[in-house]
Amino acid sequence: MESYETVDTAVLVLGAGGAGLRAAIAAAESGARVTVVCKSLLGKAHTVMAEGGMAAALGNVAGQDSWEAHFADTMKGGKLLNDWRMAEIHAREAPERVLELERWGAVFDRTHEGLIHQRPFGAHTYPRLAHIGDRTGLELIRTLQDRLVHQAGIEVHMEVTVASLFAQDGRIAGALAYRRADGGLVLYRARAVLLATGGAGRVYRVTSNSWECTGDGTALAYRAGAELRDCEMVQFHPTGMVWPAGVRGILVTEGVRGEGGLLRNKDGERFMERYDPDRMELSSRDIVARAINSEVLAGRGSPHGGAYLDISHRKPDYIKRKLPSMYEQFLKLAKVDITKDPMEVAPTIHYYMGGVRVDPETGASSVAGLFAAGEVTGGLHGANRLGGNSLTDLLVFGKRAGEAAAEYSREHSRPARISKAEVGEAVESLVGPLGRPHGENPYRLQAELQDVCSRHAPIIRSESGLLEGLQQVLELRERARSAGTGGPTGRAFNPGWHTAQDLGQMLVNAEALFRSALKRKESRGAHARSDYPNPDPALANVNFVVREVEGAMSVRALVREQLPDALLAVINRSFEKYTPEEKE
Amino acid sequence: MAETVEVTVQRYNPETDSAPRLQTYEVPYKDDWVVLDAILYIKDHLDATLSYRWSCRMGICGSCGMNVDGHPKLTCSAHLREYRRGFTVEPLSNFPVIRDLVVDIDDFMAKLKSVKPWIVRELEQPLGDGEYLQSNNQIDHYRQFSQCINCMLCYAACPVYGMEPEFLGPAAIALARRYNLDSRDEGTVERVNVLAASEGIWECSCIGECSVACPKGVDPAKAIQQTKFDTVNGAIMSTMLMPFGNRR
């Protein structure tokens, strides 16, 4: 049998994006010994690509902002499909988490008074996004990374990928992983495991997500017996780059619209007037993405099949100061000077609202000792996420889950047993592709899967398309059993082998997406169906929950707990409208 | 026939090679491609064994740094049209090679920690008191130093780091400078001990290769110069004696 190294730890954190880093810091501060395992290098996680800002009702620009207003916006944006308690906690605690980040050294653009500046963003009633230019994710990651190296009791294992989790009698026990550098296998024995692995955007062809976003945590949790929710809810960000081909899909921050950017079709019409005349360009992402899609389908798209996004009416200095990365990105990649000319943009897969079903207070999944935080979870964002809510999600729930995992590890001082036989099976399946280099080509399978999701679970879905898609996913799953490495058999940095592993996780995510989307016979938020174009009131308080039952994926409808009257009243409150002062 | 371009790549597999070797591939030439696109093409279509790092494709994660024709570049931002006649891709200089284009940067992570890249204050204000006030002008004093993406290009460009691996290096010194210039911070004295103790800082010949290499407009050479100046002039001492807020 293959040899492997064994590492013992109290709390094992998978992922070093914002949620994983914040969780690791919290768990270590609570006194737990923490090991962070991440797929890439520290500081390079997908969070680094976040641009626009982090939403928190600090009230620095609009004094009338409040946690209630933020809560109401989040719930309405999510079409009330959200876990209301998560939305409440998030809105209440986000300001403190942002201030804490500032304490640790994060740089923010400032108001004239020297307070953290906040910019307007889609479907937020007030200017709410704390930001530094359009590189807020980088600043968040950098600050947390620097804080993490400062914090005693945390060990980081970089470029290590977890392939499977072990649970014993419903309690988490550990994980099997491989190191990219030398292909060595590592068995982690942990008293608590915290998933912070992000989303699964890579199951689509055109996405703003980095190569890492293959839905590992969702799939690992599912196989360990945890429940997933809202897997049909996948966000198309309205504005991704459409050309050059090499960068198709990469993000054009909503900050462009926050700073006054206008959307036009090829006839020069501000088409949002026809889709959301009140909020126009600052409508919610689901609506703007569908609007651009409709314009293109109606033949009013731009030359590369998108819409025009124009910020050139703002002063060049202002654009370069508030949107420096966008300015540079378009100049370098597309040779477009956005201070003079419009950008061409189209919807791109951006975010998984669905994920592991967790306890709102602690991030605990339905498997004892298994916690989750960030994009890998479902609940906070309901059927559609508002821009800026993701970064504060990471901070608020990263901290909570980290503390809860530390506490769990204290209460369970002995790790659960891991059976040798199970490890053996997991190892065999992990190294399988190395033994069949010329098995099914993993790159080809991955590309086919991306085509299936892109074609059959697009921005507007239908029963026949979803059924066809599910069928093809199941066929791919069969073929993936004999996936090889695409040729090489070496252990060190073997990208074909890694792709074969990722593929297994992506397939679980894709299957959950199609099965859940078939169940939701209505249109709501990010989930739009041509055969059921309207919301169905009977599904308004239903979430679809996925779990493994006797080796097969089952989906059940779960009726949500009623919103307390006090919170319902908050949602129905009419908040004072904000009128910005024009200053540049 | 479609246009092509010759890409020569340094290969090294620790399991089979005793030394790095060069291998040349014929890759389609597209005017809107970047060097990273050519490398991805090689892996997807010509040679699945090629190893390298990349992530965001938009110049913000700092994963895809490599030497292109001998100069350290972010390959997602280096355009093929600038290398129309073919080019050579090698791993970043001055780092141990793990495999092909992948280098070991553990050394940097240790250096990062040594400069205390966080706000140091005698008294921390409770969160309830709100943020530390700071003006956009105060941020302008250190803004450029805060844009570092840890891509390691400056270390690959640095002749001193090449000869003297103990040298803290450009990015770590720029980071220290970033915090020393931050009006919220009081940790200059703690950091200067680390900075002054780093032999390399005095050996930096100020040719500024690091600042030329930086893809984000950070000027580490300036940070090093300013740090030398401060150290020599005892400016640090006066900073220590001055209360917070008096050194804008």
Q: What is the CATH number of the domain that holds B72?
A: 3.10.20.30
Cα A355 from Cα B221, distance rounded (Å): 46
Q: Are A7 and A186 in contact (CB under 8 A)?
A: yes
Residue B22 has a pLDDT of 98
Nearest to B65, CA basis, from B13, B104, B101, B30: B101
Q: Does residue B9 sit in the same domain as residue B23?
A: yes
Q: Is residue A318 less than 8 Å (CB to CB) from chain B?
A: no
Q: Which domain holds residue B43?
A: 4-103
Q: Across the interface, do A487 and B44 touch by the CB < 8 Å criterion?
A: no
Local confidence band at B200 (pLDDT 50, 70, 90 cut-offs) = low
Query: Does A443 sit within 8 Å of B100, measured CB to CB?
Result: no
Res A377 pLDDT > 50: yes
Distance from CA of B172 to the nearest CA of A (A): 12
Which regions of chain A carry the CATH code 1.20.58.100?
431-559
B63 lies in a domain?
Answer: yes
Pair type for strands A185-195 and A171-179: antiparallel
pLDDT at residue B193 greater than cutoff 60 = yes
Range list for CATH 3.90.700.10 in chain A? 239-347
Contact B32 A488 (CB under 8 A): no
CB of B57 within 8 Å of a chain A CB? The answer is yes
- Chain B, 155 to 214: residues with Cβ < 8 Å from chain A are 179, 182, 184-185
Mean pLDDT score, B89-102? 95
Residue pLDDT, tens place only, B52-87: 999 988 899 999 999 999 999 999 999 999 999 999
Q: Are residues B221 and B140 in the same domain?
A: yes
Residue B230: pLDDT band with limits 50, 70, 90:
confident
Architecture in CATH for domain A431-559: Up-down Bundle (1.20)
Say if residues B11 and B18 touch (Cβ distance below 8 Å).
Answer: no
Q: What average pLDDT score do residues A339-356 get?
A: 97
pLDDT of residue B44: 84
Whether the predicted pLDDT of B243 surpasses 50: no
What's residue A472's pLDDT? 98
Specify the number of domains making up chain B: 2
- Does A568 lie at the interface with B, CB-CB under 8 angstroms? no
Q: Which two tokens stand for residue A458?
A: 């697009």
pLDDT value at position B248?
35
Contact B61 A495 (CB under 8 A): no
Residue B91, H or E segment = none
User: At the top level of CATH, which class does the domain A239-347 belong to?
Assistant: alpha beta
Last residue of a domain, one of B103, B118, B147: B103
User: Are B58 and B91 members of one domain?
Assistant: yes
Is B153 within 8 Å of B74 (Cβ atoms)? yes
Please, what is the Cα angle at B222 between B220 and B225, to 5 degrees? Answer: 115
Residue B247 counted as domain residue: no
Put simply, the answer to whether B133 touches A114 (Cβ < 8 Å) is yes
Residue B239 has a pLDDT of 54
Tell me what the mean pLDDT of segment B29-39 comes to: 93
Give the pLDDT of residue A582: 54
Give me the half-sphere count of Cα atoms (radius 13 Å) on the Cβ side of residue A468.
13
Give helix A84-103 / helix A67-77 axis angle, nearest 10°: 130
* B102: nearest CB among A107, A113, A493: A493
Question: What is the tally of helices (H) and strands (E) in chain A?
Answer: 15, 19
CA A204 to chain centre: 14
Q: Tokens 């590992």 correspond to what residue?
A: A216
Chain B from 71 to 90: CB within 8 A of any A CB: 77, 79
Indicate whether A320 pLDDT > 60.
yes
Question: Which burial class, exposed, middle or buried, applies to B44 when counting CB atoms under 10 A from its CB (0-12, 13-18, 19+)?
Answer: middle
**Does B60 contact A487 at a Cβ distance shorter than 8 Å?**
no
Residue A37's nearest CA partner among A217, A182, A222, A171 is: A217
Which residue, B77, B103, B129, sits at the end of a domain? B103
Tokens of A442: 């993993």
Q: How far apart are CA A395 and CA A391, in angstroms?
A: 7
Residues 424 through 453 of chain A touching chain B, CB cutoff 8 Å:
443
Q: What band does B24 get if pLDDT is binned at 50, 70 and 90?
A: very high
pLDDT value of position B244: 46
For residue B98, the chain A residues in CB contact (below 8 A) are 181, 492-493
Residue B184 lies in a domain: yes
| Contact at CB, A246 and B135, closer than 8 angstroms | no
Q: Is B187 found in the same domain as B235? A: yes
Of A203-212, A244-253, A531-540, B60-69, minimum mean pLDDT range: A244-253
The predicted pLDDT at position B237 comes to: 55
Average pLDDT estimate for A514-530: 98
Closest CA to A159 of B228, B51, B76, B92: B51
Q: 3-state SS string over A38-104?
A: CCCCCCCCHHHHCCCCEECCCCCCCCCCCHHHHHHHHHHHCCCCCCHHHHHHHHHHHHHHHHHHHHC
Residue B246 forms part of a structural domain: no
Mean pLDDT to the nearest integer, A335-352: 96
- Whether residue B216 sits in one domain with residue B168: yes
The alpha carbon of residue A497 is apart from the nearest alpha carbon of chain B, in Å, by 10
Angle between helices B106-114 and A136-150 (to 10 degrees): 80
CA–CA gap between residue A121 and residue B9 (Å, rounded): 44
DSSP code of residue A433: G
B137 with B25, same domain: the answer is no
Residue B73: inside a domain, yes or no? yes
B65 and B141 co-located in one domain:
no
Minimum distance, in Å, between the CA of residue B40 and any CA atom of chain A: 10
Q: CA A81, A85, A90, A92: dihedral to nearest 10 degrees?
A: 130
Q: What is the mean pLDDT of chain A?
A: 95
Instruction: Tell me which residue in A44, A147, A490 faces B63 most closely, judged by beta carbons.
Output: A44
Claim to verify: residue B144 and residue B235 sit in the same structural domain: yes
Q: Which of B55, B80, B122, B139 to mutate to test the interface with A (most CBs of A within 10 A)?
A: B55
Q: A243-265, pLDDT tens digit by residue?
A: 888 889 999 999 999 999 999 99
Q: Does B130 share its domain with B79?
A: no
Cβ B32–A243 below 8 Å, yes or no? yes
- Has residue B134 been placed in a domain? yes
For residue B209, tell me if it sits in a domain.
yes
Contact A6, A29 (CB under 8 A): no
How many Å apart are CA A106 and CA A392, to the nearest integer? 14
Give which of B32, B109, B131 to mutate to test A binding, by max A Cβ within 10 Å: B131
Report the predicted TM-score, pTM, of the whole model to 2 decimal places: 0.95
Inform me whether the C-beta atom of residue B216 falls under 8 Å from chain A C-beta atoms: no
Strand, coil or helix: what is A245?
helix
Q: Are B112 and B152 in the same domain?
A: yes
Cα distances from B19 to residues B8, B98, B154, in angstroms, run: 16, 12, 25
Q: A379 is written with which tokens?
A: 């609940």
Any B CB within 8 A of A63 CB: no
Which amino acids of A are annotated catalytic? 237, 257
Residue A416 scores a pLDDT above 50: yes
Residue B87 and residue B75 share a domain: yes
Report the alpha-carbon distance of residue B41 to residue A82 in Å, rounded.
42
Same domain, B111 and B140: yes
Average pLDDT over residues B190-201: 80
CA distance linking residue A400 with residue A109, whole number of Å: 27
To the nearest whole Å, the CA of B50 is away from the closest chain A CA by 8
How far apart CA A91 and CA A94 sit, in angstroms, is 6
B60–A102: do the CB atoms touch at under 8 Å? no
3-state secondary structure A131-200: CCCCCHHHHHHHHHHHHHHHCCCEEEECCEEEEEEEEECCEEEEEEEEECCCCCEEEEEEEEEEECCCCC
Nearest C-alpha neighbor of A129 from the set A61, A32, A226: A61
What is the rounded CA–CA span in Å between residue A95 and residue A25? 18
Check CB contact under 8 Å for B61 and A487. Answer: no
